[in-house]
Amino acid sequence: MNGSEQLALDDSNKEKAERGLRVLLVDDDGDLLETLEPILEAEGFRVHTSPTVRDATRALSEREFDVVVTDLALGATGGLAFCESIARTRPELPVVVLTGYRDAKGAAIRLGARRVLTKPIAIGTLVEALREVTQSGR
């Protein structure tokens, strides 16, 4: 097997391993959830959406996820408190934060986020971040 055949095989195996990653997508913007869910599913992710921290917390207690994607601006509880809660209770679970606030990156990282992406987010960037944080945790 030559190098390019091996590289293609490695890429194929990597893609298969990434397929089916369970994503908890948390955002109070219903339009964003409705937009991202089918796009991420088309990329091979299994997506569960939650519009509130309460719903997301319930989902985390009832199911297993490989990664959480959350907005920072999430009603009274807020995404930062949610990140902190996940870091405290499930430190192995990677969190990707989406935010419209460029200056929130440091706070989100300090509270356990593995990646912080600024809205509006390019789908390719989000997919890459999901794959990156889940690969590094395996």
> Each residue of 47-71: pLDDT tens digit?
999 999 999 999 999 999 999 999 9
Alpha helices in 21-122 (DSSP H): 30-42, 53-62, 79-89, 105-110
Angle between helices 123-136 and 3-18 (to 10 degrees): 90
Q: What is the pTM of this model?
A: 0.82
| Residues 81-131 pLDDT 10s | 899 999 999 999 999 999 888 788 888 888 889 999 998 989 999 999 999
Strand ranges across the sheet with 46-50: 46-50, 22-26, 67-71, 95-99, 115-118
- Given its phi and psi angles, is residue 112 left (phi above 0), alpha (psi -120 to 50 degrees) or beta? left
Reported as type and span, the H/E element at residue 118 is strand 115-118
